[in-house]
Amino acid sequence: MDLIHVKDAKMQKTKPSRGKDYTAGSSCITNIVINNREAKLHLDSGAFCTCVGKDYLDRIYINWKESLMQIEGIKFSSASQDLHPLGIFEAEMIFPHPAGSIRLKVEFVVMNNGTSQHFILGNDYLNIHGIDINNHKNRFFTIGENKRQKFAFPLEKREITVIRRVKNVNKEKFVSDQLIEAQISTELALEMKEELIEILFQYREAFASDNEPLGTIKVHEVNTMLNVERPYPPLLRRPACPASPRAREALESHINELMKLGILRKAGHNEEVEVTTPVFITWNNYKSRMVGNFRELNT
């Protein structure tokens, strides 16, 4: 390729100091009205199609799944990951303007794993409606043939803000382990879902787990009066082991269940057990004793 008449490009704005050119960038996110609510829209000429993440759509439309159109046989991807489409959602959005607002009827591809906190108007509708983005001193965009009606982008702060989301590892593990089979209502908005999960995580000790079948709450105590002097209560005067084989089998099965739940445990022959709460003491195969933890029983 032969290059002729090469000249330097003229700058429309003052260039930042060396090493700071990235601070001159601006986004193409504008304000729209959709479903009678204000929302954010990104005019993205690099996007193949118009789309939105399901979590952001939950904020605007609660019952969007009821009118979702199917989509099959098409693969979508962004610069960093493959996108998983759920279907197509049709909606009307309005670009507000003092001289007369403009309404567009748009089909959004709803992405299951979309993370953007705004709607994305892709190259498909930018071409269909002739939306042009102008990067002169005062940035604006136009819609259709009327180039005099200019839509301004919202003013932005010039400083770069780096947002770091601090991950709560314990919370994420709780959601993946304890709430993996939970069915949360689709009518809840994203903020409501996050508040619900936060409450469940805050009181997670009330949930059973593999290690704690009855939960881990330790504050519920049992107050039981034990009579250790004669005359003994009727229950203490009963034989230590039932005479009926069927009753003994039932007792053994019951004791095994209590052991699995952590309420009873075996105590060694020479083990000194500090009795701070009421306990069960019984014979297992007539050779060893068991100590029961009423704190576990009470959770």
**Site of tokens 């390729």:** 1
d(CA 47, CA 29): 14
pLDDT higher than threshold 70 for residue 209: no
Q: Contact 90/106 with Cβ under 8 angstroms?
A: yes
pLDDT higher than threshold 80 for residue 39: yes
Q: What is the pLDDT of residue 278?
A: 47
pLDDT higher than threshold 60 for residue 73: yes
Higher pLDDT, 241 or 154: 154
Q: What is the pLDDT of residue 227?
A: 60
Higher pLDDT, 201 or 168: 201
Strand partners, 42: 29, 120
Q: Contact 31/51 with Cβ under 8 angstroms?
A: no
pLDDT (tens digit, 9 = 90+) per residue, 265-286? 666 666 665 554 444 444 455 4
Q: What is the pLDDT of residue 99?
A: 84
Confidence category of residue 215, pLDDT binned at 50, 70, 90: low
Helix (H, G, I), strand (E, B) or coil at 93: strand
Q: What is the pLDDT of residue 218?
A: 59
d(CA 63, CA 20): 45
Confidence category of residue 89, pLDDT binned at 50, 70, 90: very high
Q: What is the pLDDT of residue 33?
A: 92
Q: What is the pLDDT of residue 111?
A: 92
DSSP category for residue 68:
P
d(CA 127, CA 10): 28
Domain extent listing, the chain: 26-152, 169-206, 234-298
- For domain 26-152, give the fold: Cathepsin D, subunit A; domain 1 (2.40.70)
pTM of the model as a whole: 0.50
d(CA 38, CA 41): 10
- Which tokens sit at 253? 């099965």
pLDDT higher than threshold 50 for residue 36: yes
Q: What is the pLDDT of residue 105?
A: 94
pLDDT (tens digit, 9 = 90+) per residue, 6-28? 888 887 777 778 888 877 777 88
Residues in the chain: 299
Q: Provide the percentage of residues in the chain whose pLDDT is more than 90.
A: 22
Q: What is the pLDDT of residue 56?
A: 92
Q: What is the pLDDT of residue 160?
A: 43
pLDDT higher than threshold 50 for residue 3: yes
